[in-house]
Amino acid sequence: MNQSPSPQTDAGLGRTILIADDDPRLRALLIWTLEMGQYRVLAAVDGLDALQQARAHHPDLFVLDVGMPGMNGIDVCRQLREDQVIAPILILTGFGSEEDKVAGLEAG
């Protein structure tokens, strides 16, 4: 009998997501949630760490915080696109200004 993957338990099998956020509580929550969905999760504490892990592991999806110290999520996004990374990128922000939204869209 051919069984299709269960959307609640098998959705993330084989997929890797890189979470880059300097807030340890939010990072832990995101990791836990994604691991419950069977995703392999990589965690970075800042933008430089995110770029190093991206280049080493080639994740399928990125979740980047805008407000990281050093290299922020927008700069990481720009660098990933310059590196020809085509994986989807989600930008997290506590800021809600139009400028931040436009910067994220322009970064890729």
- Write out the two tokens for 56: 């080493």
> Tokens 């400028």, residue?
99
Domain range for 96 is 16-107
Which of 19-28, 50-59, 64-73, 92-101 is predicted least confidently? 92-101
The whole-angstrom separation of Cα 59 and Cα 94 is 24
Q: What is the pLDDT of residues 48-66, one digit of tens each?
A: 999 999 999 999 999 999 9
For the chain, the domain total comes to: 1
In whole angstroms, how large is the CA radius of gyration of the chain?
Answer: 15
> Tokens 């098998």, residue?
10
- Within 1-108, residue ranges assigned H as helices are 24-36, 47-57, 73-82, 98-107
CATH number where 78 lies: 3.40.50.2300
Q: What is the pLDDT of residues 31-52, one digit of tens each?
A: 999 999 999 999 999 999 999 9
The share of the chain scoring above pLDDT 90, in percent, equals 69
User: Which pTM does this prediction carry?
Assistant: 0.81
Q: Is residue 5 part of a domain?
A: no
pLDDT bin (cut points 50, 70, 90) of residue 1 is very low
